[in-house]
Amino acid sequence: VYKRQPPDGHRSLPLHRRLRASLRVSVVEGMFSEVFTACAGPTVLTAWAIALKLGPFLVGVMTALPFFSQFVQFPAAWLTLCFGHRRVALTAVCLSRIALLPLALMPWLGLPLEARQHLLLAVAGASAVLAVVGNNAWVAWMGELVPGAIRGRFFGKRTALITLMGTGASLTAGLLMDRLKGLDGVGLALPLLALVASVMGVVTTLMMAAQHDPAPPGTTPKLELKAALLPWKDDGARRVLLYQVAWNAAVGVSAPFFALHSLQNLKMTFVIMALHAAAVAGVRVLTAPLWGRAIDRLGAQPVLMLCSLGISAIPMLWLLPTAGTLWPLLFDVLLAGSLWSGHGLAIFALPLTVAPRRGRPFYLAAFATAGGLAYAAAAALGGALAAQVPQQFMLGGHLWVNLHVLFVVSSVARLGAAFLAARVNEPGAATTRTVAQVVERFLPRPRAATAGSRAPSPPRAPTGA
């Protein structure tokens, strides 16, 4: 039992009870965070962009703002080290979510169209910058809070549950946008969703405040400039950085434009888009716990490599559907739901394993900055490329649209980036270098060990933890 009250305000409790309580609250907080995402995520921002008549280039820039904002990762790391994981996460996450409030008031502000466009971009930018600061602190906080031996299983279960909540919230948001959308302009649905998002900011902050920070008083590292350079001198970290840059650039070329393609070219309603997202979420719910156990048993690197290779095919699937033929998206549901689930867990767990406890916020900042800026630059480049290509053109006797070009480029680039995952070295795990090794590690093994066989890796704690 602790003899003095911890700095986060929790009364003295046995460590295991405080840990279990914090992990339970973290799951519930994540579920309500999904409500915020449903009300202020990429689909809703794309709807705002269409309502305010933003062109393809500005749509690409706006949806890439969370990634452009990664340039504040290193200042965010300094703040995290100065004021603590918990305090920075609570403040920044709350501000990033209530920043949507001006959009809720937009119909009554009487602004001209250009001013409304500027307000949308300003609000989206401010929310994105604050979210980066909060996320850096939150990930470092979770790295301290969740024991390494159960990290994959916990976040696998958490992902499954928050995905269920996100599915229901997305469906509700889609119905609301279809029912209350105006014939021209913003309408009532989008401001209402912005208001709900702001309320969720307060709710989730209160839930985060109920979780403790396990870092004991006096363990905050001394601020040194050389600490910010540690990730760039670490060979293992550099390999992860290279993968992050290549992968996020390959994804960023096309990712901001799938919602735009669905609305403008495939003529999907918000409800149909929400149903598609719900189907993807259902597959994620089923597969996330399986991926979590695989990461605890095998390591994050083989999961990352396998999922990256599979995800490379997803943009090509979007060449098949048309406005009257949407059934090919069933394949997207299966692949995107299962593979992005594993990829998300692996890319979350790997940096926590590679980064030592000392200076961890700077490692996380380096990973997020490298990947985020690469995504943002690629998204802007993709928007510029889409603006230069004819909106519709004939090729090989088939009608294509400009966004199809981005999907092909992204698929090829993802395949090239996926093989960089083979160069990632994960401490405590036997890394896979080839596709055959990845498949071998995922195949069930007989109980009786044979000569030369390798036993599954035991659960691992992150380096330095």
Query: Does residue 377 surpass a pLDDT of 80?
Result: yes
E strands within 215-333? none
Contact by Cβ (8 Å): 452, 440: no
pTM of the model: 0.65
Contact by Cβ (8 Å): 336, 344: no
CA distance 298 to 318: 32
- Least confident range from 87-101, 106-120, 226-240, 253-267: namely 226-240
CA distance 303 to 63: 28
Task: State whether residue 18 is helix, strand or coil.
Answer: helix
**CA–centroid distance for 339 within its chain:** 14
Listing DSSP states for 137-196 in one string gives HHHHHHHHHS-GGGHHHHHHHHHHHHHHHHHHHHHHHHHHHHHH--SSSSTTHHHHHHHH
Q: Distances in Å between the alpha carbon of 64 and those of 124, 254, 378? A: 10, 11, 9
The residues spanned by each domain of the chain are 15-212, 230-443
Looking at domain 230-443, which of 1.20.1250.20, 3.40.630.30, 3.90.79.10, 3.40.50.1100 is its CATH number?
1.20.1250.20
pLDDT at residue 436 in the model: 67
Contact by Cβ (8 Å): 69, 371: no
Phi/psi at 109 (5° precision): -85, -15
Domains 15-212 and 230-443 share a fold: yes
Mean pLDDT computed over 397-401 = 81
How many residues comprise the chain? 465
Report the alpha-carbon angle 385-388-392, nearest 5. 105
- Which residues lie below 8 Å from residue 3, measured CB to CB, with a gap of 6+? 12
Contact by Cβ (8 Å): 152, 348: no
- On average, the pLDDT of the chain sits at 79
Under CATH, what is the fold of the domain 15-212? Answer: Growth Hormone; Chain: A; (1.20.1250)
Query: Does residue 112 surpass a pLDDT of 50?
Result: yes
Contact by Cβ (8 Å): 371, 247: yes
% residues pLDDT > 90 (the chain)? 13
CA distance 272 to 421: 35
CA distance 193 to 106: 12
Query: Does residue 84 surpass a pLDDT of 50?
Result: yes
Mean pLDDT computed over 234-246 = 85
Query: Does residue 452 surpass a pLDDT of 80?
Result: no
Task: Give me the sign of the Cα torsion angle 418, 310, 385, 260.
Answer: negative
- For 97, other C-beta atoms within 10 Å of its C-beta total 27
CA distance 411 to 266: 20
Token output for 187? 């309408």
Contact by Cβ (8 Å): 221, 215: no
Contact by Cβ (8 Å): 137, 95: no
Contact by Cβ (8 Å): 144, 6: no
Q: What is the pLDDT of residues 273-326, one digit of tens each?
A: 878 888 888 888 888 888 888 888 888 888 898 999 999 999 999 988 888 888
Task: Give me the sign of the Cα torsion angle 247, 368, 366, 254.
Answer: positive
Token output for 98? 């209530």
Q: In the structure, what pLDDT confidence band is assigned to residue 453 with cuts at 50, 70 and 90?
A: very low
Mean pLDDT computed over 10-25 = 72
Mean pLDDT computed over 223-251 = 78
